[in-house]
Amino acid sequence: MKAAVGDRLVIQSAHLGEERRIGVIIALHHEDGTPPYDVHWLDEEHETLVYPGPDAHVEPRETRA
């Protein structure tokens, strides 16, 4: 997985009835764009350090209109 600042990190819920989480990547820890990422979560208005698992994917900033 690779990302850039401004991309969205989407984590699908592993539990029935829970919504997916969407956050904006605000900082990288590696120049090549690999995890971990500092993410600003849109649903809770806070930032965390994230090591994405297999239930996560990146939506590049360029593909969103």
Tokens for 54, please give them. 């297999």
pLDDT at 58: 97
Tell the burial category of 23 from Cβ atoms under 10 Å away from its Cβ (0-12, 13-18, 19+): buried
pTM recorded for the entire structure: 0.85
pLDDT at 34: 97
pLDDT at 28: 98
Short-list 43, 63, 60, CA closest to 4:
60
pLDDT at 15: 75
Give the pLDDT means over successive 10-residue stretches in the chain (65 positions): 96 81 97 97 92 95 69
